[in-house]
Amino acid sequence: MKNIAKNENQDKDAVQTPVPSPGELLRHTRKDKGFSLDEVAPHLGLPCRVLRALEDDDYERLPAPMYVRGYVRRYCALLGISEVPVLEMVDQQLTHKGIEDHALALRLPMAPKKKIRPVLILIPLIVMLLVAAAALVWAMQSSESISLSSIDKPQTTFQPAVEMSALTSENDNDNEQNFSEPEPRLQAMNEAGDDGMRTLAVHIIQQSWVEVFDANGDMLVADIKPSGTNLEITGLAPFSVTLGYAPGVQLTFSGQPVPVRAISSDNTATLHIGDEYAEER
């Protein structure tokens, strides 16, 4: 009887023992192995704030579920535990909170606007003026010939056509000279464009979390990138960039290297790239 009562008490205690959440399981395992967040973050290439959100089961502060599952897999592999039960608990919590996979709001580069050069608009107008001038000269020459033939006076030389043709030729040369070479400022604007789209190149030397938002707040990338990855991100400048392991990332904006100086104690960095360009616009 005592054994039966003892077994019943053990079963009762087992039922009452709360099951840890996936975040708690990851936190307890990390602490049992003697690791701190600052020690784990560089190996995963994630900022401490992302790891803290994972351990707090705060999925509202994390990217889409597809990325969360990837983080959990990496975390479990680093801690040496099976990922299957942890992922099942993560999916249950995501379903309970109504968080579903969704496509990232990517802003694709807009096609550059075609600009009409002033010379293309003025060419038809110049042609019409030349035709009208030629018709006027021909009418004047015809009427002058009739009036001179009716008067018994020595014929005088009258060549308005030659003078007008020379004048129109000089005007044509002036117009061609004016419109064949656009102003330097206009040419620079045509070459640079005014749509605000710029390219940010990212070279990953050591695995790191990379998060980039454009000027409209659209997420262009948010993921762990392995060593050797090269990215070319095109969007509306300026960019907001967060790096999980800043010493292992090189950035280039519009062909110019971007120094990453503001690196915090956990090796993360947050930058605003292209603010100077925004001010110029």
> Residue 20: which CATH number?
1.10.260.40
Q: Is the whole-model pTM more than 0.75? A: no
Same domain, 217 and 262: yes
| Residues contacting residue 181 through CB under 8 Å, at least 6 positions apart | none
* Residue 23 CB contacts under 8 Å (≥ 6 apart), including other chains: 54, 55, 56, 57, 58
Supply φ then ψ for residue 242, to 5 degrees.
-125, 130
The verdict on 186 and 200 lying in the same domain is no
Domain assignment present for 76: yes
Structural domain span for residue 269 = 195-280
Is residue 138 included in any domain, yes or no?
yes
* CATH, residue 245: 2.60.40
CA–CA separation, 45 vs 35, rounded Å?
15
* 116 assigned to some structural domain: no
Are 91 and 15 part of one and the same domain?
yes
pLDDT-derived band of residue 273, with 50, 70 and 90 as boundaries?
A: very high
In a domain, 119, yes or no: no
Q: Which of 191, 218, 233 is the last residue of a domain?
A: 191
Give yes or no: residues 214 and 252 share one domain.
yes
Residues 156, 212 within the same domain: no
Question: Tell me, what amino acid is at 280?
Answer: E
Does 221 lie in the same domain as 167?
no
* String of DSSP letters for 137-175: HHHHHHHHHHHHHHS-SPPPP--HHHHHHHHHHHHHHHH
142 with 201, same domain: the answer is no
| CA–CA dist 252, 201 (Å, integer) | 5
Give per-residue pLDDT as tens, 123-135: 887 888 888 888 8
Does residue 182 form part of some domain?
A: yes
Of 238, 245, 233, give the one whose Cα is nearest residue 281: 238
Higher pLDDT, 33 or 137: 33
Give yes or no: residues 200 and 276 share one domain.
Answer: yes
Residue 64 lies in a domain: yes
pLDDT tens-digit profile of 205-226? 999 999 999 999 888 998 889 9
Structural domains of the chain, count:
3
Is 111 a member of any domain?
no
pLDDT of residue 18: 73
Percent of the chain past pLDDT 90, that is, above it, reads: 34
According to the model, what pLDDT value does residue 79 have? 92
Same domain, 169 and 219: no
